[in-house]
């Protein structure tokens, strides 16, 4: 637990969090207004002071006990207007007509130091009208997992929701076993999802859809207002952000795990860290989620699933794109088809950077695929392979550290010959190339076994030090800091985590 007390100035000149709420103005069709259910004994496990500062939250105005009570939902600050958002969604391909925030409550919005509007949401805050059979709560393990992974994604430079605070509740939650309860304060640039559109489309609520679309445009894509067909342009912009996002996931070996349409945010941020994981050994069909039996959301399927989800979004706004259904479908289809090309561009450009290539040649894609195939066949570690390529560019002798990542070292030698001959056609200095490569090939990622160790220590022994250390190391993913080499290592035999759980 956090011991340090934040100086209490008890400054009454302004509110500690300056809420400025916009979603609530859409009207009661879009949410249910309610307060979080109080918890017994809230205690702060982790407070993200840097993020709080960026959000203009004045931590010094209150002491830690007050913040624990705020970020558990026990105390509602002036300006907050708590609500649970309604949405629907395709879960594993099956449409569920009503989901909604079943265990989350949006406290309100704040404008950050870069003038961006952010949602402040409590996750694990108690039952809502959308809880269905659930208890509205979250267990400590999944809360810490989301904290670790979302903050790691942020440090990697990937659009994501962030974690402001993790609080234990002092109450048990009942899953397969009895677990300590917790609440996560999640910060997102917006929580409207594809599933939010689906909810209203299903009900034929055209006015609500229009309101929602315009809300999303104002908040995330104001530039499309200038376009001849605003709503078509919006679809293209959302498509573009998602194409880029999923390419970025692939570049770091991230597997989301539950890419249901209710987990795809219109803001283009990674959202909903459930059974997500980073892969160690490269395998295109890697799945970790215990509920993903068919591999629908496997590493290599993610780009196609994003396209499928985008098509579901497009369906909901067809009447806005064109009054004539046929032409609306034609136009939307074109955008959705453009996705494959757009994704490929983002993916290729990132992969070129990972290999140290500054120019484009038509054969580059083959070179990249051939490395990935060799890694797959030889069970090479994804993150280490790319990181060590940075060293191999700098000093050819370092090839020896790469070779031994491949079951058949000769397979690497064969590939590296074509790579080196490609590199030799560019006139950049070795130093410069190494520097650039180290900026895109992380040294540390939230390896599953490390995440698991941190969660187990916290949940079983109330020892938060592995969690703290992991969060710290992951905040500089592109650096190889002294004494942290253990965090770069793949799991040893027996340390492998093969399955992850939603924890709901």
**Which CB, 64 or 245, lies closer to ligand AMP?**
245
Name the residue whose CB lies closest to ligand AMP. 134
Task: Indicate whether 272 belongs to the interface with ligand AMP (CB under 6 A).
Answer: yes
Instruction: Say if residues 255 and 276 touch (Cβ distance below 8 Å).
Output: yes
Rounded CA gap, 58 and 49, in Å? 10
Least distance between Mg ion and beta carbon 101 (Å) = 9
Instruction: Say if residues 250 and 347 touch (Cβ distance below 8 Å).
Output: yes
**Which CB, 22 or 504, lies closer to ligand AMP?**
504
In the set 258, 317, 371, 451, which binds ligand AMP (CB under 6 A)? Answer: 258
Q: Which residues pair with 451 in a beta bridge?
A: none
**Which CB, 189 or 263, lies closer to ligand AMP?**
263
**Which CB, 263 or 416, lies closer to Mg ion?**
263
Q: Coil, strand, or helix at residue 280?
A: coil
Tokens of 425: 């056609």
Task: Indicate whether 180 belongs to the interface with ligand AMP (CB under 6 A).
Answer: no
In the set 136, 257, 356, 466, which binds ligand AMP (CB under 6 A)? Answer: 136
- How many angstroms from the chain centroid is the CA of residue 71? 21
Instruction: Say if residues 74 and 122 touch (Cβ distance below 8 Å).
Output: no
**Which CB, 102 or 170, lies closer to Mg ion?**
102
Tokens of 184: 């996560």
In the set 46, 103, 256, 352, which binds ligand AMP (CB under 6 A)? Answer: 103
In the set 56, 79, 102, 300, which binds ligand AMP (CB under 6 A)? Answer: 102
Tokens of 339: 């996705």
Rounded CA gap, 276 and 254, in Å? 8
Task: Indicate whether 137 belongs to the interface with ligand AMP (CB under 6 A).
Answer: yes
In the set 108, 268, 274, 466, which binds ligand AMP (CB under 6 A)? Answer: 274
Give the x-and-dash track for 61-100 against ligand AMP (CB under 6 A): --------------------------------------xx
In the set 135, 315, 364, 495, which binds ligand AMP (CB under 6 A)? Answer: 135
Residue 146: closest CA among 454, 473, 462: 454
Rounded CA gap, 40 and 43, in Å? 10
Helix axes 364-377, 409-423, angle to 10 degrees: 160
Stretch that binds ligand AMP, among 21-29, 133-141, 154-162, 283-291 (CB under 6 A): 133-141
In the set 18, 398, 497, 502, which binds ligand AMP (CB under 6 A)? Answer: 502
Instruction: Say if residues 136 and 37 touch (Cβ distance below 8 Å).
Output: yes
Least distance between ligand AMP and beta carbon 67 (Å) = 24
Residue 322: which of ligand AMP, Mg ion, none does it interact with, CB under 5 to 8 A by kind? none
Site of interaction with Mg ion (CB under 5 A): 263, 272
Task: Indicate whether 256 belongs to the interface with ligand AMP (CB under 6 A).
Answer: no
Task: Indicate whether 119 belongs to the interface with ligand AMP (CB under 6 A).
Answer: no
Least distance between Mg ion and beta carbon 87 (Å) = 9
Tokens of 187: 């910060």
Rounded CA gap, 345 and 342, in Å? 5
**Which CB, 174 or 407, lies closer to ligand AMP?**
174
The residue count of the chain comes to 504
In the set 93, 97, 134, 295, which binds ligand AMP (CB under 6 A)? Answer: 134
Instruction: Say if residues 192 and 266 touch (Cβ distance below 8 Å).
Output: yes
Residue 102: which of ligand AMP, Mg ion, none does it interact with, CB under 5 to 8 A by kind? ligand AMP
Stretch that binds ligand AMP, among 5-13, 255-263, 294-302, 438-446 (CB under 6 A): 255-263
Site for ligand AMP in 347-376 (CB under 6 A): none
- State the virtual CA torsion across 1, 468, 49, 66 in degrees, nearest 10: -10
Least distance between ligand AMP and beta carbon 310 (Å) = 18
Rounded CA gap, 89 and 377, in Å? 37
Task: Kindly state the greatest CA–CA separation across the chain.
Answer: 69
Rounded CA gap, 149 and 446, in Å? 6
Rounded CA gap, 286 and 301, in Å? 10
Helical residues (DSSP H) of 55-104, grouped into ranges? 64-70
Number of residues that bind ligand AMP (CB under 6 A): 18
Q: What residues are labeled active site?
A: 262
Give Cα separations from 160 to 59, 238, 265, 494 (angstroms).
23, 15, 10, 31
Task: Indicate whether 305 belongs to the interface with ligand AMP (CB under 6 A).
Answer: no
Task: Indicate whether 131 belongs to the interface with ligand AMP (CB under 6 A).
Answer: yes
Residues at the contact surface with ligand AMP, assessed by CB under 6 A: 99-103, 130-131, 134-137, 258, 262-263, 272, 274, 502, 504
């Amino acid at each position: 637990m956090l011991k340090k007390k934040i100086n209490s100035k008890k400054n009454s000149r302004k509110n500690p969090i300056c809420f400025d709420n916009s979603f609530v103005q859409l009207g009661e069709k879009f949410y249910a207004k309610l307060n979080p259910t109080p918890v017994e004994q809230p205690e702060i496990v982790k407070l993200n002071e840097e993020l709080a500062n960026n959000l203009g939250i004045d931590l010094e105005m209150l002491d830690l006990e007050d913040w624990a009570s705020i970020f558990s939902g026990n105390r509602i600050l002036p300006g907050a207007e708590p609500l649970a958002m309604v949405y629907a969604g395709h879960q594993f391909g099956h449409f569920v007509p009503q989901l909604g925030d079943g265990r989350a409550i949006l406290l309100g919005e704040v404008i950050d130091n870069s003038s961006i509007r952010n949602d402040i949401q409590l996750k694990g805050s108690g039952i809502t009208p959308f809880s269905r059979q659930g208890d509205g709560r979250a267990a400590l393990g999944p809360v810490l997992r989301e904290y670790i992974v979302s903050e790691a994604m942020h440090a990697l430079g990937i659009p994501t929701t962030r974690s402001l605070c993790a609080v234990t509740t002092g109450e048990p939650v009942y899953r397969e076993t009895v677990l300590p309860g917790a609440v996560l304060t999640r910060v997102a640039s917006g929580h409207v999802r594809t599933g939010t559109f689906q909810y209203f489309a299903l009900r034929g609520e055209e006015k609500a859809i229009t309101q929602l679309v315009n809300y999303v445009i104002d908040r995330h894509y104001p530039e499309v207002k200038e376009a001849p067909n605003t709503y078509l342009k919006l679809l293209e912009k959302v498509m573009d952000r998602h194409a880029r996002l999923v390419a970025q996931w692939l570049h770091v070996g991230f597997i989301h795990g539950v890419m249901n349409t209710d987990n795809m945010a219109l803001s283009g941020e990674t959202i909903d860290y459930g059974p997500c994981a980073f892969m160690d050994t490269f395998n295109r069909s890697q799945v970790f989620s215990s509920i993903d039996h068919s591999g629908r959301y496997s590493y290599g399927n993610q780009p196609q699933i994003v396209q499928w989800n985008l098509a579901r979004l497009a369906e909901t706004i067809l009447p806005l794109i064109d009054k004539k259904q046929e032409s609306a479908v034609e136009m939307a289809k074109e955008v959705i088809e453009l996705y494959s090309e757009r994704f490929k561009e983002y993916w290729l450009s990132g992969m070129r950077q990972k290999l140290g290539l500054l120019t484009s040649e038509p054969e580059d894609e083959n070179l990249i695929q051939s490395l990935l195939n060799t890694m797959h066949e030889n069970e090479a570690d994804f993150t280490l392979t790319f990181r060590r390529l940075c060293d191999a560019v700098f000093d050819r002798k370092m090839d020896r550290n790469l070779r031994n990542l491949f079951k058949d070292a000769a397979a690497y030698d064969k590939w590296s010959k074509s790579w080196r001959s490609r590199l030799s056609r560019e006139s950049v200095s070795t130093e410069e190339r190494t520097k650039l490569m180290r900026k895109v090939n992380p040294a540390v990622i939230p390896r599953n076994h490390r995440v698991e160790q941190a969660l187990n220590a916290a949940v079983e022994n109330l020892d938060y030090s592995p969690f703290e250390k992991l969060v710290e190391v992951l905040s500089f993913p592109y650096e190889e800091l002294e004494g942290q080499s253990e965090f770069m290592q793949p799991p040893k035999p027996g340390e492998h985590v093969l399955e992850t759980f939603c924890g709901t």
